[in-house]
Structure 1
């Protein structure tokens, strides 16, 4: 047992050192004042608790069928507790950490009993569903509220409650009350997970909830909306989502880019690192200028060089200065991209004389034959380039900060990005934009 504990300690120390080592960044700070803007909800899956002696006063007589379930506020801590108990190996956990990018700074080397929340679910003969959450985490259901749900009601209800938990903040174990929501209608696992129908009927989902935040900032005379989601104040140094949206009044384009707080964050022609958040003020530390702003509206388009996957001929975006160019980012694996091809072809047949078309396939090298087959099948008779989607190998999609597929980007005759949108609906917006700016249709 001592040997196993040593391995766990060494694993944690090694990973924490790797995650904690960062270089110092000097430069100006950008401060963004935030206000609450919606709610972020994280779905937690409950596990059946077969040993019902771990809790007291379950009102089993109220229900025709019932079950005891448990959920971990911090699922990673729960798995690490299994390592501490010898139920899982350190090797398994190390692989889990790598594959899921787990921040081990917030994992305690002591078990945290109040990380687990117990829940009773029940069904009566009339079909009503009941949920009792051990909200004060004393493992006694005598003092907890019973929630009932008629699953046939057209108006669904999602009760919100305060739940007592304990957590490790990276230094010590602390107690806290957190907001959670009961979802009695949905489960976090597929139907195939349940061996019997009644087990599925007794399952529910609990949702962790955090406020979303947003605020505007002006950088070099351009306005941006910064949005924060999945920020858990209990784990202040853990990663969360930062979205950057350029505000362009009257534009049909979409200008939203998403990052993790651990990423470098591009805003216009500047690059930043997240440096902290205190009293609803987000701070970003300026790193350096960018030569290009990644295909953002009103910025010069990044250069594109490559070979056409169908003809083998060289392609250079520079050759099309003086003409509109539409870049279509898609992939053979992308259902919405395939669905959008007819709309893309419709625009091509209307504007091919005055707009150059180039599709960039964000795909795997192993799927090149499939790519060529689809291009031929759908009659996509324009330029086609390949961008390797394998980790760290993308060039074109990365330059243009493409995060959703399909994405359409229109470049004007001066080489400036003037329109950007996603999906089939985005292509219809593009068609309206071409009419708005007066691009001539093909002459018969």
Structure 2
């Protein structure tokens, strides 16, 4: 009997230790809304017009020259999927306040808008924001409009919840371009408003007694994560060390590897798991290893990075486009670099374009006499669906990455100015 009790006790202790070990390898970062030191590109969303102003709304000012508009605060595509899966019902959605209403119009020669701050569909008890019709011609016009801290409805993990958000409402008569418009449509479009989101989620956590900070933002193609030491600022987008991660990515912190596991809503929490049984980890930063991506030349012939890299032992990747002014400004500089390092480094320029024709014309005209390829995508769309664009996190054009024959990432940077000078200094120090 004593033997059995001892055995059971031993098993319970082992289970307990196992649980503690598992818990110690998991990090939970509590997140809250912040707009300080925002590391993300601010997202801009156009407001939609209400089909017709009816008795549902009160306090309408100059009804003949104004329109009611609204901003959806939840992603209805996600909601529809959740309804189909039976995770939430339509009645719950309909009963929630998921829209912010604004009245946009003209009055006595000036343009105005009114935000229904208290969500009562009555604009008479809200502030009237007036401004000149041509205000958007001022390059700094955004500074004239106050950032509002509003409580909005969000939808995450199949639940609706309230959250503070920092929003700035701006006139945007040229946000959409129309080939043909009636006079009535032209007037309506002149009152177009957009919402500029200034906030993101921020939290801290510890690794080996050192505190880190993490920023989280819902981008066009899913959640984005940026990390930093908690006592420093986030690197800006065009900085050499800027890194934006996605869910399931692996990140190295204090010589330990972690997987960004999941994001749980209300209250928002980020779950990060330490990887103990570590195999080869692919990444997109300096001192990491790139995957062996397949690419196409301008004639549609495929190859991969390793095949190109082994020709000379090193690979110079240039992500650019004929639509990118900074890229074109650096073309003469790239031609000089190619002439200088052609014998040691395989140059590869990959244009992010819909059609190879303008790329062929440009590369021939400017004597870009090295490997030129195309990654098909819509310029300036933020489309990260291409494996190499998404995998190497190419969000800044031009982006330059140098790899060795094993696809170890030796250096990366983007843009011109000091960043490009840093690239030249690196090449000079390593290949001369």
* Structure 1 length-normalised TM: 0.63
1:54 aligns to what? 56
Q: Among residues 394, 415, 423, which one is paired with 1:423 in the alignment?
A: 415
Per-residue CA shift, 1:108-155, capped at 9, x if unaligned?
A: 412247334332223233x32222222222222332222222456766
**Contact 1:45 1:189 (8 Å CA) reproduced:** no
Per-residue CA shift, 1:313-347, capped at 9, x if unaligned?
A: 994524544xx542323467766545543221122
Output aligned runs, 1:101-250, within 5 Å: 108-110=89-91, 111-112=94-95, 114-125=97-108, 127-150=109-132, 156-161=143-148, 176=162, 178-179=164-165, 181-187=167-173, 189-192=175-178, 195-196=182-183, 197-213=186-202, 226-230=214-218, 240-243=223-226
SS at match of 1:294: coil
Output aligned runs, 1:196-345, within 5 Å: 196=183, 197-213=186-202, 226-230=214-218, 240-243=223-226, 254-260=240-246, 263-268=247-252, 270=257, 272-276=259-263, 282-286=270-274, 289-299=278-288, 315-318=307-310, 320-321=312-313, 325-330=315-320, 337-345=327-335
Per-residue CA shift, 1:265-320, capped at 9, x if unaligned?
A: 12149461433468776321246635244342123565679898799999452454
**Contact 1:274 1:283 (8 Å CA) reproduced:** yes
* Structure 2 length-normalised TM: 0.65
**Contact 1:135 1:164 (8 Å CA) reproduced:** no
How many equivalent pairs are there? 377
Instruction: Give, in angstroms, the shift of residue 421 of structure 1.
Output: 1.0
1:381 aligns to what? 369
Query: Are 1:361 and 2:350 counterparts?
Result: yes
2:9 aligns to what? none
Query: Are 1:432 and 2:428 counterparts?
Result: no
Residues 433/226 of structure 1: CA separation in 2 closer, same or farther (3 Å cut): farther
SS at match of 1:257: coil
Distance 1:419 1:317 in 2: 15
Per-residue CA shift, 1:322-374, capped at 9, x if unaligned?
A: xx542323467766545543221122223334x4132053668x966776555
Distance 1:123 1:188 in 2: 17
Residues 218/406 of structure 1: CA separation in 2 closer, same or farther (3 Å cut): farther
Instruction: Give, in angstroms, the shift of residue 430 of structure 1.
Output: 1.0
Residues 286/334 of structure 1: CA separation in 2 closer, same or farther (3 Å cut): farther
Distance 1:133 1:179 in 2: 14
Unpaired runs of 5+ residues, structure 2, are 1-21
1:20 aligns to what? none
Residues 167/258 of structure 1: CA separation in 2 closer, same or farther (3 Å cut): closer
Distance 1:59 1:392 in 2: 44
**Contact 1:182 1:204 (8 Å CA) reproduced:** no
Unpaired runs of 5+ residues, structure 1, are 1-25, 81-92, 232-237
1:29 aligns to what? 26
Per-residue CA shift, 1:239-268, capped at 9, x if unaligned?
A: 532135799xx9x962333344xx321214
Output aligned runs, 1:12-23, within 5 Å: none
Instruction: Give, in angstroms, the shift of residue 47 of structure 1.
Output: 0.6
**Contact 1:45 1:188 (8 Å CA) reproduced:** no
**Contact 1:151 1:185 (8 Å CA) reproduced:** no
**Contact 1:165 1:178 (8 Å CA) reproduced:** yes
Distance 1:293 1:59 in 2: 58
2:7 aligns to what? none
1:71 aligns to what? 70
Distance 1:374 1:367 in 2: 12
Query: Are 1:406 and 2:390 counterparts?
Result: no
2:339 aligns to what? 349
**Contact 1:332 1:374 (8 Å CA) reproduced:** yes
Distance 1:165 1:48 in 2: 19
Residues 52/337 of structure 1: CA separation in 2 closer, same or farther (3 Å cut): same
Distance 1:414 1:109 in 2: 53
Distance 1:177 1:307 in 2: 45
